[in-house]
Structure 1
Amino acid sequence: LHIGVNFWRTVNISSPFAAKFVEVIVVVPDDYVQVCLINTGAGTPFISGLDLRPLKKTMYPQVTAAQGLVLLTRFNFGGDENTGIRYPDDPHDRMWFPWVNSSSWTEISTTRRVKYEADSPFEAPMAVMQTAIRPRNASHNIEFDWEPQPQANDPSPGYIIIMHFSELQLLPSNAVREFYINLNGKLLNRDVMRPPYLYGQASYNTFAIRKSYYIVSLNATANSTLPPIINALELFSVIPTTNLSTNSQDVSAILVIKAKYQVHKNWMGDPCGPGTVMVWDSLTCSYAIASPPRITRV
């Protein structure tokens, strides 16, 4: 898959009965966007559906004109194990998948409103923030892990971890819930996490982390009388989006030619990319450093 002229990810359909869902968050520099399915020689590319959702410019600050985020997973902890959350509960129509492990975790929930600050860069929906988990054994930590997923153009991808927290129980004055967030045994965030009551708070890394393995652990501090909790988690890998699409005026002109003369050649996607091997049939393009490709001959 390519988003515009930039590599998104490789999709491998190994079972006819398993749906494959992929998501990317990118800055679209033009007034249009193209999604390209490129044949890798292992079967005919196909797609069942495509959804586009606009986001506020202030959301997901890790996304820039030079970098996008590819979703690995988005978990809602403590929710109904048979029901995911998306629009209308999430105004941005993100898909939050339940993760339940009753043997290790105890679920916590509230029917009261849980608010996120108006300028939150992630805006986790209230339905997600109204549930959480804690260790069934109060002396245990919360842990989750994953292994890197190498891609064709990035054998060692970097990751962005976004964790959402809110205290859902009104704690007595002598109770303390605070914990550290560790990655592979070292502090991921030096600040102690003290989830505010009925208010959402996020912990995240601004720059991509690259490791050979990943174990995230929420560890109660020595002063804490209560175990750690977590409401939700989003995990992304980063992709570069520095390749430039064809000059927009050239694109407009060639699309007029395509429509007027009813061209039936393989004229789809970006006319001059992605890469010189994907140029439209019978087109010649020129490529300059730091400038969009130009169509020079038809």
Structure 2
Amino acid sequence: GMLFAGDCLDLMATMRSDSFDCVFADPPFNIGKDYKNGYNDRQSKEDYFSWCFSWIHECGRILKPGGAFFLYAIPEIAVRFAAEMHQTLLFRHWIALSMKGTFPRGKKLYPAHYALLYYTKGEPKTFNRLRLPIPTCRHCGKDLKDYGGHRDKLNPAGINLTDFWDDTSPNRHRKFKVRPGVNELKLMIPERAISISTEPGDLVFDPFGGGGSTYQAAENLHRNWVGAELFDCQHIARRLEENFPISCAQEPPTSVFECFTCNEDHSNPLLRRLERKSV
């Protein structure tokens, strides 16, 4: 894969249309958190959504026909994102990720989930049905449900994954977001999204590198990837080098370079790869 230090909009401007099999985005939520890196997470709603709609549009443009776009957000902003995505993409699921340990605030219900929007560019090119192990009691080992007396008819490979994920809880947002590790997206989330929508060798893009979870998930699943991060790229580089020392020494495949209109013009500082080059 290839990781670029810079603004994702500038990077996507250099990309060809219809290049990626999957896009996974976990953007800032504009909820006033202190990132301690100069990023302003307290913009006006108008400015914030104008910016978001710009990169959402670009993500849709670079997605291949049949490709998948996953967007992770809190419900309050996910509804606005969904309305924008609806204009050009095909709705597949609003995946709810159970959020534990929260409490009601003001005149609102108890917040219990984050949203993972799942859209495709037309009919999906790839859809892999995932299965989970049949849940059992951690104390006695017996099944937690009787399945209406039809336990023997269940697929031995497990039960179908639904659009409600209660086995992985999002990290709650803290007042200060200082990486490494704080609010890092749990690896299982991008791993499932990538597994559902791609095959080995496909190309994945994440415009907001964050802690690097999407890139590690892509490596685990043998997918190629391209990413951008405006601030702490070195934390991502260290994480990947620790987990994939052999891959880090290799050049990305030709398909990764082909997604750029300029074939990585080395005179362009935006398109200089990091010191570690690739994963």
- Normalization by structure 1: what TM-score? 0.23
Return the index of the structure with the highest Cα Rg.
Answer: 1
| Larger fraction in helix | 2
| Larger fraction in strand | 1
- Normalization by structure 2: what TM-score? 0.24
